[in-house]
Every structure is written in structure tokens, then in C-alpha cells.
């Protein structure tokens, strides 16, 4: 893609997704800032964790692109 | 749930844009429920719209057709940067302009801008200046002139040409339909604003109290301005921050108190809503038009945030949720209807799909989606998020599929486009 705004969205989602595996997933909890911000926009998502929201409200295409980027970032991590 | 159209909501209410007092966010408003049709994409035969004004020999009103005037108006609407093209005593330098823009958005590389980009922008700038000059020479009949403030460009010429389009005679069927939708759009904007105005509330009931708080707010803002410059120049900003934040909270409280004191005239608001609803319903019906220009005019008015002109979908953008005593939540944008039809609840990423889906739909209707189309030009040298040199050399659909969008994003766009077709296509 060369859609810069889309790239930023995918990048943010990929990093949020990866952050869930650190610090007992504290950044993916319903009361985390990003989820609270989503709750403010769309009350139906209030109380959902990042993973719950991602599984329910994100399109197939974006999920696929997020996975591509997450896998790429995983490769960059030191072993 | 985001499903591949497996769970379309069944809703027998076909009132487009139902005016309801219930908050939109409670999802009780009605949306169009499209009938699922067997859809066969039409053979696309793009209409190449000639907008080069040098092709026209005369600009005298008697020889200027309505459709020519309309094409000029569409071309003019891509001339938002006309002030940049009007260099005093100098020829507009497209190369330097592009370099400057690319430096600003951090996309300048040694091989940019390309000669194709420079030529495209230079040609566009010339065309804009020529259209401006020709439109200025066409007078509006005195009986049709509308008074109002003097506007700067491009707004002045835009207002002028839209007035012309509402008053110019036409003898063709398409011209008549186009004139009808343009006139309806004008009425729609006025009635929309009327609802906004009455939704602000009025001061008459609590005039004295409002005056006191307004005065307090003025004092607080002056204090804030003084404190801002003090904080900016201070070495240790943190020690001033708590005072600054306390002042900010006082200002916000005052603003809220002011809004609480405003009173809505319920009868007046109901009447404004009723008047708006009539015109709104009529304008929504033009979304069923198979003509790309008629669809465009209706949609760009109803969407109110220029989805067809590149900006992202943004709920409540013009409904003034913060500025109004009562937000105009009764109004539902076309894109909101599409989101509801798809069962989506994610404006963030819908943003990244709906502009492309709508532009593709227009291409299917027969809009000009070639290299010189307005959207091609946008990506080539007008985009706010970075230019794309390939768009200067490809038709729009090829550019989207092969260059701009990831394959997965393109798939998602196709899904949204399918919903758009279901809603609007015959």
C-alpha cells in the first residue's frame, strides 16, 4: 500500500496487538487509553479488551494486513 | 459484527434519514435497508469530460451551454489552491511549489517531483486561472443576485458559479435534472443551517446570568493568554502547569455553564426539522440516479464532509456536538447508513475504505476516472497526505488496485462498494 494514513492505522494496530503479550496484557485491557477512546466513539465497544474488539469489529482485510506487519515486526525482535 | 454480509439487519423502515429524537449512538435510528439485487457491473464506458476552456470559442452567455458551465464549475472545484497559483507579476512555478509541499510533508526525495507531476500541476494551474477569468465575465441577472459578505477566493468564484448554475437556462433533460439537484442542494444547505442555528438555543430566558458568565469567561481567557506566554518562556514549565490546568478547567466549566443556560425553542426546532426533512428526503432520492454528475451533486451535499473530495469519513463533523445546546443527531449521513447496513461500528477504519468505494462507484456510473480526472489529479499533486507519481500516469481504478491500496485493503473496499451498489444502483 502507499496509502500513508492506512499504513499508520495498520502500524498502530500491529503494535497494539503485539503489546498484549507484554506486562500481562495491561495495555490491552478495557480501561487502557486506546480502548477508552474507542469506547467514547462507539459505546458498544465499552468493556471490551483490545483482542475482543479486534476480533469483532475489524475487517478481514485489515486483520490480514495487521498480521503481515506483526509477523514482520516479530522477525525483527532479538532472540 | 463484521461479517461478509452474512448478517444483514432486517429493517422494514425505508425512511431514509429518519428524524428521531433518540440519540444516534443508541443505534435506534432507521437506516435504508437495501434489497439485495442480482448485480452485474455495467460495462464501464468512461465519459471523457472536456474541461479545457481553450476548446470553447466564446464565453458569452448566449453561446454557453448549461453543461459547459457545469463542467467549468466542476473543474473550478478542484482549484482550491487558486491563491497559490496567482503569483503577482510572476508565472506560477509548479516545480518549486511541489518541492515546497513535499518538504513540508516530509516526502521529498532526489528524484521528485517528476516531470509528469510538474506538467500536470502547471496545466492545472493554467486551467484554474482561465476558468476564473471566464466565469468572472458572466454576470448573474440582477433579480437573481444574492447579497452577502465579500468572500476571498476560491469561495467567491465558487459562490458565483453556483448562483449561475441555479439561474442559467437549460433545454436538455440532463441539464434540467442537474439544475434541479443543484437547486435542491442549495435549499438543503440553508435548511440544515436553520436547524443548526435553532439547536444552539437562545439567551432570552437567562440573559442576565449569561451576560455575567460571558464576562467572566472573557476575563479568564485574557488571563489564559497572559499565562500562556509566561509558561512558554519559563525555564521550569512544570511549576506553572498546575495553575494553567486549573485555569483551563475554569474556562471549560464556564463554557459548559453557558451552554446549560441556553434554552431551545422546541416548537421552532420541530418546525425547522420538519422543513429540513422534506427537502432532505427529496435530495436523498437523487442518490438513486445512474448519472454520475447528479449522484455527485446530491452526495457531496448530503455527506457534508467531502467524502467524494478526499476527506475522511468523520461522524458528527458538522453537527456541532460541542457547540450546540442540542446536537443535530437526527441527521444521518449517507455513509452512516452504509456503516449501519454493513453492521459496522468502527469509524476509524471505515474512514480508509469509504472514500475509495464511493469514487469507484462514481467510476462505474461513468464519471471520468482517467489520468486527468479530478481524483487522478488529487493523488498526483494535491493530496494532503503525500503525492503519488504513479497516479499521474494511470487511470484511477488501476492506480487504486495496483498501486495505492494493499490487496487486502482493496478487498475490503470491494466489500463496501458492494454495499454502496446495493443501496443506490438500479
- Does any CB of chain A come closer than 8 Å to the CB of residue B385? yes
The pLDDT tens digits of the residues spanning A12-52 come to: 999 999 998 888 888 899 999 889 988 887 788 899 999 99
* Cα–Cα nearest to A11, from A58, A70, A74, A76: A70
Residues B310 and B288: their CA atoms lie apart, in Å, by 22
What's the pLDDT score for residue B377? 87
- Neighboring chain B residues of A9 at a CB cutoff of 8 Å: 348-349, 352
Separation CA B10–CA B135 (nearest Å): 49
pLDDT grade, residue B111 (50/70/90)? confident
Q: State the average pLDDT over residues B303-320.
A: 50
Confirm or reject contact between B27 and chain A (CB < 8 A).
yes
Place of cell 487522478: B376
Residue B424 has pLDDT above 80, yes or no: yes
For residue B4, the chain A residues in CB contact (below 8 A) are 60
Buried b (16+ CB within 10 A) or exposed e, B84-114: ebeeeeeebebeebbeebbeeeebeeeeebb
Residue B315 has phi, psi (to 5 degrees) of -55, 145
Copy the grid coordinates of residue B404.
495505492
pLDDT band at B292 (very low <50, low <70, confident <90, very high): very high
Say what the pLDDT of residue A24 is. 86
**CB pair distance less than 8 Å for A57 and B312:** no
Say which of B312, B345, B406 has its CB closest to residue A1: B406
Residue of A6, A41, A45 lying closest to B409 (CB–CB): A6
Q: What pLDDT was estimated at residue B305?
A: 56
Q: Provide the 3-class DSSP secondary structure of residue B35.
A: coil
- Residue range B189-237, pLDDT digits in tens: 999 889 988 988 988 889 999 999 999 999 999 999 888 887 777 777 7
Query: Interface pTM (ipTM) of the complex?
Result: 0.91
B82-96, B159-173, B200-214, B216-230: which range is least confident on average? B82-96
Compare all CA atoms of chain A with the CA of B409 and give the residue at the minimum distance.
Answer: A61
Which whole number is the average pLDDT over A61-67?
A: 94
The pTM of the full predicted model, rounded to 2 decimals, is: 0.80
The x, y and z cell numbers of residue B141, run together, are 441577472
Amino acid at each position: 500500500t502507499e496509502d500513508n494514513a492506512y499504513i499508520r492505522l495498520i502500524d498502530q494496530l500491529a503494535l497494539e496487538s503485539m503489546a498484549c503479550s507484554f506486562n500481562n496484557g495491561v495495555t490491552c485491557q478495557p480501561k487502557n487509553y486506546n480502548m477508552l477512546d474507542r469506547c467514547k466513539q462507539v459505546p458498544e465497544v465499552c468493556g471490551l479488551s483490545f483482542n475482543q474488539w479486534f476480533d469483532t469489529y475489524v475487517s478481514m482485510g485489515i486483520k490480514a494486513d495487521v498480521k503481515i506487519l506483526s509477523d514482520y515486526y516479530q522477525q525483527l525482535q532479538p532472540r | 459484527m463484521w461479517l461478509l454480509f452474512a448478517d444483514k439487519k432486517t429493517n422494514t423502515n425505508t425512511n431514509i434519514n429518519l428524524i428521531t429524537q433518540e440519540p444516534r449512538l443508541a443505534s435506534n435510528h432507521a437506516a435504508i435497508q437495501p434489497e439485495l439485487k442480482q448485480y452485474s457491473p455495467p460495462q464501464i464506458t468512461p465519459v471523457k469530460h472536456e474541461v479545457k476552456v481553450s476548446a470553447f470559442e466564446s464565453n458569452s452567455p448566449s453561446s454557453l451551454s448549461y453543461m459547459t458551465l457545469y463542467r467549468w464549475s466542476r473543474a473550478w472545484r478542484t482549484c482550491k489552491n487558486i491563491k497559490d497559483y496567482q503569483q503577482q507579476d510572476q508565472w506560477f512555478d509548479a516545480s518549486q511549489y511541489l518541492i515546497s509541499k513535499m518538504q513540508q510533508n516530509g516526502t521529498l526525495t532526489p528524484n521528485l517531483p517528476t516531470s509528469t507531476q510538474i506538467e500536470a500541476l502547471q496545466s492545472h494551474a493554467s486551467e484554474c486561472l482561465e476558468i476564473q477569468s471566464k466565469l468572472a465575465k458572466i454576470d448573474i441577472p440582477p433579480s437573481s443576485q444574492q447579497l452577502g459578505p465579500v468572500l476571498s477566493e476560491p469561495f467567491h468564484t465558487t459562490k458565483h458559479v453556483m448562483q449561475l448554475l441555479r439561474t442559467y437556462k437549460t433545454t436538455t433533460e440532463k441539464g434540467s435534472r442537474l439544475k434541479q439537484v443543484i437547486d435542491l442542494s442549495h435549499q438543503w444547505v440553508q435548511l440544515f443551517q436553520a436547524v443548526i442555528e435553532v439547536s444552539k438555543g437562545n439567551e432570552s430566558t437567562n440573559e442576565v446570568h449569561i451576560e455575567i458568565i460571558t464576562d467572566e469567561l472573557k476575563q479568564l481567557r485574557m488571563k489564559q493568554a497572559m499565562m500562556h506566554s509566561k509558561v512558554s518562556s519559563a525555564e521550569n514549565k512544570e511549576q506553572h502547569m498546575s495553575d494553567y490546568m486549573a485555569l483551563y478547567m475554569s474556562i471549560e466549566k464556564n463554557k459548559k455553564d453557558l451552554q446549560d443556560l441556553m434554552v431551545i425553542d422546541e416548537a421552532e426546532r420541530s418546525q425547522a426539522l420538519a422543513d429540513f426533512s422534506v427537502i432532505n428526503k427529496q435530495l436523498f432520492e437523487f442518490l438513486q440516479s445512474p448519472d454520475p454528475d447528479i449522484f455527485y451533486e446530491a452526495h457531496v451535499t448530503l455527506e457534508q464532509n467531502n467524502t467524494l473530495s478526499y476527506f475522511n469519513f468523520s461522524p458528527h463533523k458538522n453537527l456541532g456536538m460541542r457547540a450546540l445546546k442540542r446536537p443535530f443527531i437526527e441527521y444521518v449521513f449517507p455513509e452512516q447508513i452504509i456503516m449501519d447496513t454493513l453492521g459496522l461500528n468502527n469509524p476509524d477504519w471505515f474512514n480508509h475504505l469509504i472514500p475509495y468505494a464511493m469514487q469507484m462507484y462514481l467510476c462505474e456510473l461513468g464519471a471520468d476516472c482517467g489520468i486527468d480526472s479530478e481524483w487522478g489529479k488529487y493523488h498526483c499533486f494535491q493530496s494532503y497526505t503525500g503525492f503519488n507519481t504513479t497516479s499521474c500516469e494511470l487511470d484511477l481504478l488501476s492506480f487504486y488496485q495496483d498501486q495505492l491500496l494493499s490487496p487486502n485493503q482493496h478487498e475490503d473496499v470491494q466489500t463496501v462498494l458492494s454495499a454502496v451498489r446495493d443501496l443506490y444502483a438500479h
